[in-house]
Chains A and B, each alone.
Chain A
């Protein structure tokens, strides 16, 4: 209990301290120490509750709920103010609607609502807490240096670093609150805080583009927020005593009652996880400084969206409404992966791949069989680690080569070998056996094959998976091109904080080694607790994966064998002599440089061609899920 409260309140306190800490050194010290403490506390949480199963904490809801409502209304006023300032009336309307809903809830139902077990913790919460605590604090530490360099590189941006770190830590507190709350009203409160943190951080640069994208994100997430608020009112109306506002009670209440709110809250999850048709906000969010993209828009906040979907998976399981939510996820996975092929901006590729993977998780949650639940949680873990590593490496590279275009990352293995290797491992983590994401994708295929109507999901996964291989492998290819004439620029680069990058790289490899343990101590008990049965990979297959990993780790040793006597020749250029930096004299005696470019197949996979149909299909499926849930209710 204390650990839970500590994890929620401590980051909030640190946030306050940062706001008043004027000196740079003080801020550095504060953030670093706080990050270490938060990381340690989340590990402590694992140690104390890891084997305890589900534990509920009766925490008085009385003053807390009121304080939350007050904060919500205050934030709504702030949003309304910003809406007027930037003349975004849609945002004002939405926040007004939401505030009305909250007020209605308070006036009509709050009096009678008596929730007892407001906090809880189970294995899934612990997993989420570890992701937030470890990855979140690593990113916070990384952000210290990053923001310094960011402001050097962008003198036009107002230096609001204190606000920046204030929001980051408030956000961490809210995320912890979100995964520990059993009271849906509280989940909603923390949910809204993350929405607003994201909004403020996307708009950090205060350019027109940043502001526009921030409002886009806000508007889309508010739509989800309204659905969430509507679900709260529906629940309070169904059960005036309000017991059903407790997550575990709701999940236990059966399909007839729970499906409609589950679909409404699931819609909030869909907006937050940026599934289609809401994927545009996540793409727009890439204007934010890279640590923000890493923290909010890939590893934690968007995971809140799928967290809630996975929580509700048992309700979705076997219903047609759940199936349509699953299809929203599956179509998103396919279309977003395909669009990623056409992107050359590294952050766009990462964003689309994030959307795609969140879609896959949503697909698993929507169909909701034990095997898929297992796969979904694994996906959450592995994606968080690999993606944050990738974002941070891209941010590091960007500061050195002043570009985030994948084409400009050619020969990174020569120019910035350390970062290139880490980025390589991060990418491998995203799509190659025996790394994490592939284990989950594999489990997902097996899960879908056994699920009713799973064939369409299997097909989508087969195509989507193929596309995924294409866009990741060509990026990897750019990294490993040995352009020996390029100079190494990494050494001038001591200042950058390496620790978060090294740790995350280690985690990518370590999770593969540890995943049987994670699976049997955290995921399988959770799945068993819900479904009574669980799923896992067979021991033999795990052993084979370990062997493959071992082989991958041993193979680089072979470099020692090659050194000896190989004669080096330049690449074949149809008999033309080339200089060391690949210049050659073309016809008519004009000097040219040999360059290579990846395929982007824009004609087939371009945003223009795929985004609209994908969004229309997904929007249709969301409507269908409402209809079906409405009919079922």
Chain B
């Protein structure tokens, strides 16, 4: 069963965005776009989240935080980098404290372009991410099944 893509809970993290993309992410929750139609909930907790939505580029102070949040999300999970800053650092990429895009720190699955990214493209990005999420899930399920078989065999053998 694939419940995952019908119930993606996302965690929104503002790395060093100018808040333009953040407003657009939040706009997705409003009555006009209403992402809850897809079962999407904006949860504030990485342990409950399936999709990490990051706006803005990574800087020296928050790279640990981004790594930590990513680490704390249970598998399967995907990362959506929203806006051009999250993709590459954008206009801030030459700044002294900017590391670059999100993919310098954690693996990114979907890049949503735009400055700021439009709600339509953000929703499109997340829906794309759902496909990847589903792929990861089935891979994980197979892997777990294989592991379980291996464990049982090892137990039976020993």
Residues on A lying within 8 angstroms of B by beta carbon are 565, 567, 569-570, 572, 575-577
Contacts and interface: CB of A to CB of B under 8 A. Distances in A.
Interface string B115-158: 00000000000000000000000000000100100000000000
Interface stretch (B31-39, B62-70, B89-97, B98-106): B62-70
A590 to B, nearest CB: 15
A588 to B, nearest CB: 12
Given A575-B13, A575-B66, 6 more contacts: A565-B144, A569-B71, A572-B45, A575-B68, A576-B64, A576-B65
A575 B65 contact: yes
Nearest to B75: A567
Contacts of A567: 74
Contacts of B147: 565
Interface residues on B, range: 10 to 19
A572 B65 contact: no
A564 to B, nearest CB: 8
B47 interface: yes
A574 to B, nearest CB: 8
A575 B69 CA distance: 5
B7 interface: no
Counting chain B CB atoms within 10 Å of each CB, the highest count among A572, A576, A577 belongs to A572
A572 B47 contact: yes
Contacts of B64: 575-577
Main secondary structure of the interface of A (DSSP, over half): loop
20 contacts: A565-B144, A565-B147, A567-B74, A569-B47, A569-B72, A570-B72, A572-B45, A572-B46, A572-B47, A572-B72, A575-B13, A575-B46, A575-B64, A575-B65, A575-B66, A575-B68, A576-B64, A576-B65, A577-B67, A577-B68
Closest 6 A-B residue pairs measured CB to CB?
A575-B65, A575-B69, A575-B68, A577-B68, A577-B64, A569-B72
A613 B69 CA distance: 51
A50 to B, nearest CB: 53
The interface residues of chain B, by DSSP majority, are classed as: helix
Nearest to A570: B72
Contacts, number: 24
A575 B106 CA distance: 14
A589 to B, nearest CB: 10
Nearest to A564: B151
Contacts of B45: 572
B150 to A, nearest CB: 12
B146 to A, nearest CB: 13
A576 B68 CA distance: 7
Contacts of B46: 572, 575
A106 to B, nearest CB: 77
A577 B64 CA distance: 7
Nearest to A575: B65
A299 B68 CA distance: 52
Interface in B20-59: 45-47
Contacts of A572: 45-47, 72
Nearest to B46: A572
Nearest to A578: B68
Most central of A565, A569, A570, A575 by chain B CB within 10 Å: A575
Contacts of B71: 569
Contacts of B144: 565
Contacts of A575: 13, 46, 64-66, 68-69
Contacts of A569: 47, 71-72
Contacts of A570: 72
A575 B63 CA distance: 10
A565 B74 CA distance: 13
Contacts of B74: 567
B15 to A, nearest CB: 11
B130 to A, nearest CB: 23
Nearest to A585: B64
B142 to A, nearest CB: 15
A571 to B, nearest CB: 9
Most A Cβ at <10 Å: residue of B68, B71, B72: B68
Interface in B73-99: 74
A405 to B, nearest CB: 31
Contacts of B68: 575-577
B36 to A, nearest CB: 24
A575 B46 CA distance: 9
A420 B99 CA distance: 49
Contacts of B47: 569, 572
A570 B46 CA distance: 12
Nearest to A569: B72
Contacts of B66: 575
A565 B150 CA distance: 13
Nearest to B47: A572
A576 B66 CA distance: 9
A167 to B, nearest CB: 57
A567 B67 CA distance: 17
Nearest to B48: A572
Contacts of B67: 577
Nearest to B66: A575
A575 B15 CA distance: 12
A575 to B, nearest CB: 4
A181 to B, nearest CB: 64
A569 B47 CA distance: 10
A576 B67 CA distance: 10
A490 to B, nearest CB: 32
A567 B73 CA distance: 11
A631 B138 CA distance: 85
A569 B69 CA distance: 11
A567 B76 CA distance: 13
Among B66, B72, B144: residue with most chain A CB under 10 A: B72
B56 to A, nearest CB: 14
A572 B65 CA distance: 11
A570 B72 CA distance: 8
A577 B144 CA distance: 28
A569 B71 CA distance: 8
A570 B69 CA distance: 11
A572 B69 CA distance: 8
A200 to B, nearest CB: 57
A521 to B, nearest CB: 51
Contacts of B65: 575-576
A587 to B, nearest CB: 10
A62 B153 CA distance: 85
A569 B45 CA distance: 14
A569 B144 CA distance: 19
A565 B143 CA distance: 13
B20 to A, nearest CB: 22
A578 to B, nearest CB: 9
A532 B66 CA distance: 74
A576 B46 CA distance: 12
Contacts of A565: 144, 147
